[in-house]
Amino acid sequence: MTNSNAPSSSANYSKKRKAAQQKGRMSKRREAIKGTSTIAVADVSNKLSEMNVGENIWQSHAPVSSVRYKNCGTTKSLMAHGKKSLKGKAAQEKGMMSKRREATKDTSTIAVADVSNKLSEMNVGENIWQSHASVSSVRYKNCGTTKSVMAGKKSARMMAHDKISAGAMARGEKSIKKSKSYGIVSGVMPVEAEKSPLNGGTFTKEDNSTKPLQNKKNKSAISKLLENFPVENSTCSLAQIRATFYPKFENEKSDQEIRTRMIDMVSKGLATLEVSVKHSGSLFMYAGCEGGAYAKNSFGNIYTAVGVFVLGRTFQEAWGSRASKKQSKFNSYLERKRMCISMELVTAVLGDHGQRPQEDYVVVTAVTKLGKGKPEFYSTPEIICFCRKWRLPTNHFWLFSTRKSVTSFFAAYDALYEEGTATTVCKALDELANLSIPGSKDHIKMQGEILEGLVARVVTRDSSKRMKKVLKYSTPHLPVGVGLDLGPSLREICAANRSDEKQQIKTLLQNVGTSFCPSFVDWFGNGSTDAHSADADESFISKFLQANPSDLSTTKFQDIIRLMREKHIPAAFKCYYNFHKAESMSSDNLHFKMVIHVRNDSAFQRYQKQMRHKPGLWPLYRGKGGLADEDANLMIKLKFLTYKLRTFLIRNGLSILFKEGPDAYKTYYMRQMRKWNTSEAKRGELSTMLEEWACYARRKYGNETLSGPMYLTEVEPFLENYAKRSRKNRALIGSAGNLVKAEDFLAIVDSGENEVGEVETANPSVVKDSVGKGEGLIVFFPGIPGCGKSALCKEILCSTGKLWDGLPVHSLMGDLTKGNYWKKVAEERNRNPSSVMLADKNAPTVEVWRRIEGICSSTKAFAVPVVPDCEGTDTNPYSLDALAVFILRVLLRSNHPGSLDKACPTAGYVLLKFYHFYDGQDRKVFEAELIECFGSIVKMPLLKPNRSPLPESVTSILEEGIDLFRLHSIKHRRLDSSKGTYAQQWAKWEKKLRDIIYINAEYLNSVQVPIDCAVKQVLKQLGTLAKGDYSRPRPITAKRKAGSIIFAAVNIPVTELQGLLHKLAEKNSEFDAFLKDKNVDRTLKQAHLTLAHKQNHGVTAVASYASVLHQNVPVEMTALFFSDRWAAMEAHPGSVDGEEVKSKNMWPHITLWTAKGAAAKESSTLPQLFFKGRATLIEIDPPVTVVGTIEFH
């Protein structure tokens, strides 16, 4: 810490000077100070503008930020005459009070200039932000604190802050708003200023607390630095991005809408479509040895240690004996240029994905220049150029720059979706793309045939030209270190240290070498404290948000955090001490790294919505340059069923299979396949295979759950044996065998650290369907206490004769049922399968819904969710208005069977707990999920549409409760609110809640739809359903039929064909006799002219017709062939918009009729049969033309 020594304006005067001389000189100095003040303010503004912009990393899964606080230049000055004691010279002091006040003005001004110097010397912190966990480096600094005993005047610290604030206002920056609600921690208490010493003269007091931290300091000492850090008006903070990645692959639009937009942009010459291989591994980001290594949602653990080792080994293999020098230069380059590289880390030691790789490797997927402000991503040509310079692995890319090629690509994916492997997919794309750039790591050799998917995104239209230029002038280098002895491999190191995770990490880092990893502090700290101490979490965020942002980047970063907390976006803010800056840390100079872990993918969509309302808000991620904002992030991830079979259907279903049983597991995987719109034939094949897998796994493991990270140990041999039975099975599995055994070298991964398997969301695929009479029915309530379910159940019981024609109705009230409620429901359903069960219990979670699905499956019933109808919020399907009404209803209860009434001291907490069960999804997602699971939904009216807004006092108390609930949950999880750290706050809040709800009871009653009207509406909907007239809602956008493309053809209107056949029969008696017993008018229901077939002509041949899909084309009929087994029409398609449409078949024809047992495809042999005299030919002269439509089948 450097103290700002503000010179005393009176200390340089001799005690013996005459009062007249002193007075005259003081007057001159006052005039001089006026000019200095102006210069100092300008200097502060200039210094602030010169500060480095902070950094921050954003990723589809986790951001990190390094933050620094610093109190700058705390100098205590006493303006005295000579060295006389203030206490002993009270009389003189009194006489000179006015002079000292004037002197203080002078000193304050000089201090401002000194503050500017200290600000310019601040080191920039570090910060990473990802889609799910961002890390940021943040620095706190208290600037220019000059305290004087002269009352009535501002200190230099206050003057400096005023001037800084004035400068900020001049630049249009907003002041920091202090939140009154509960945050991660309670607010910071103000620090009382120290009293000045009573001795006279000018001096600087040495404060031992400002010395740099020594390694000997223990955990409590380093933790107390933040705890005791005062946030004052002069406190400044800087935040820097340290790593970043592309956005999470979640889009508000449907896949089909995104495809259509991509095709449209390419067709108009506005963009090029870029497609790359999605390697199946873990996200790894590297920003240099000091900038840090980061995983998907964490840092400083086994994931990052493995990533550093594999990247270091990559340098060794590429550069050989020169590797150490290149590693050092690479680290220096990243630090100097402030860059980050993002990679896919593919390894067998961190748990199973779709297939265990043969080798451990990384592939560079993004390069980011962090600089000042928002991150700037390299284009793909720049990435390839960068990687070839440093000999880093690149991915396989394809560019599609024409309408024909881009439409063919999507058609090829659809055709390969259900059975595609790395070989077939890469071969098809090589044939279809306008430009193919092979990767330096061959997916087939390094990972295997099971391909996770493809990533398609739009890039600038000149990408092809730039790519060709890079490929021409930048050539790849062959690795020169492959044959050298590089030491033990990753798998050998993990195998040798199986019993100790820390030892695994340490050994990995040691084997990387000091050239690439000179310090282990990100994993083990500095030896004095835990590297990942959570002590900083609670107080850091509040202090960071209260501190003055030192530049635009920090301001924007604070805005992001405030918005995420204000809108309750599900994220955890994890803070760690930045031990790379340990030597410069002191009581007024603190450095941290922050990991912002976004817990739910829906957070990105909700954040995007907020950006539309706040254009100045920085995004959680940044897209590519050169395109309009709407299209900059236009991406789509296209996965293959052979991968999803292993990960989603088997791995992610293990807990359901072993905890809930085979029936629940079947419900799960059938629902997943419906979401993916898997073809009916493939659903049947997969269902048969998965049923056999479930029996095999349960028989072998009983009730012991199979380990997810090593699930392929059991699954791969099972799939291999299953695939050997038939060709169809082999196509279903995709590839099996050659299992890499990972049991001996799997890295030790904490259950809390293990990266969660991806969870796909999809728009509900709902088809029109009616509910038949006489089936079993379960009516259940995904609601909150007070939603009116018990009142509704009573009314239904009284109306059974009107609703279900005497069908028995049973109600089971949760508050009166002992034991496992849903087990009791299942037992009742088994006893009375043809009955209606009213499940009078709140069913708020997906786990409960899954249980209900299982009951329906096992008892042949269907379920109907009844939900209170309201708008919801961005993060919850229930609005605060609805929550307030529910609370009022609960507080008006007496003698409730479940004791949740006005006598319950924690009633507010209980309702908040239910409210948070739905956290993370808006009303649209909530209803779509229910419809997807159960096919229908019944809405109970709750709030009047034209009501006045919720009173501010009600909104405020509910938001305060929500914040307190989050704080309580983080610290105590499910502990009752009457216990724990926040018990007193809960008690005060409960009392305040009751007071406010009772005061606003008249309003809350007035905005409700009367309960009798709501019941009538629900009964009406249930009655409609019971009569079988209920139709499920249709989806807004029809989903594509992925995986069901087998051939391309021209669909021919049947009526025109039949008319032509009758005309030919009138002219040809032989053909007329042939038709008499064929009843073609009844049997010919559809007709098509095959253009290409996937099995006969290949995927690319079928996909090539995508550019003319749904277009009308003239078809010329030239001849009719028939025999005792087939009848077919020779036909020739014409052109579409000048493009000739040709059939890949040797003889283009339309099959009209087949005898019993004859295969339709064999009708192509009719010309040969004619020449053998076994078929008849009728020429059509002149030819007849009909118009057909080109479609995929």
- Residue numbers annotated as active site: 278
The β-bridge relationship of strands 836-842 and 282-286 is unpaired
**Phi first, then psi: what are they for 24, rounded to 5°?**
-65, -45
Contact 617, 567 (CB under 8 A): no
Q: What's the one-letter identity of residue 350?
A: L
| CA separation, residue 1159 to residues 627, 968, 1077 (Å) | 52, 70, 19
Contact 542, 536 (CB under 8 A): no
Contact 446, 422 (CB under 8 A): no
User: What is the rounded distance in angstroms from the CA atom of residue 830 to the CA atom of residue 835?
Assistant: 10
CA pseudo-torsion sign 813, 814, 818, 823: positive
Contact 571, 603 (CB under 8 A): yes
* Closest C-alpha among 387, 365, 388, 389 to residue 377: 365
Contact 56, 65 (CB under 8 A): yes
* Closest C-alpha among 70, 67, 66, 3 to residue 588: 70
Instruction: State whether residue 1151 is helix, strand or coil.
Output: strand
Q: At what angle do helices 323-337 and 302-319 cross, to 10 degrees?
A: 120
Q: In b/e form, how buried is each residue of 546-563, taking b as 16+ CB within 10 angstroms?
A: bbbbbbbbbbbbbbbbbb
Q: Which helix (H) or strand (E) holds 146?
A: strand 146-147
* Token couple for 767: 């088809």
User: What is the rounded distance in angstroms from the CA atom of residue 1137 to the CA atom of residue 348?
Assistant: 52
Token look-up 């005259």 returns 24
Q: Which helix (H) or strand (E) holds 134?
A: strand 133-143
Contact 1090, 1164 (CB under 8 A): no
**Secondary structure (DSSP) of 698-711:** HHHHTTSPPPSTTT
Token look-up 């919020």 returns 873
User: What is the rounded distance in angstroms from the CA atom of residue 56 to the CA atom of residue 240?
Assistant: 5
Instruction: State whether residue 1131 is helix, strand or coil.
Output: strand
| CA separation, residue 92 to residues 29, 81, 86, 101 (Å) | 22, 9, 9, 14
Instruction: Determine the straight-line distance between the first and last CA of the chain, rounded to whole angstroms.
Output: 74
CA pseudo-torsion sign 516, 522, 526, 527: negative
* Closest C-alpha among 1129, 1144, 1146 to residue 1056: 1129
147 DSSP 8-state letter? E
Token look-up 């600087």 returns 204
User: What is the rounded distance in angstroms from the CA atom of residue 355 to the CA atom of residue 373?
Assistant: 40
Contact 334, 243 (CB under 8 A): no
Q: Which parts of 1032-1156 fold into alpha helices (H)?
A: 1054-1067, 1069-1075, 1080-1083, 1094-1097, 1099-1103
Cis ω for the linkage preceding 1182 (within 30 of 0): yes
* Burial status of residue 581 (CB atoms within 10 A of its CB: 0-12, 13-18, 19 or more): buried
* Closest C-alpha among 133, 372, 921, 253 to residue 633: 253
Q: Which helix (H) or strand (E) holds 572?
A: strand 571-577
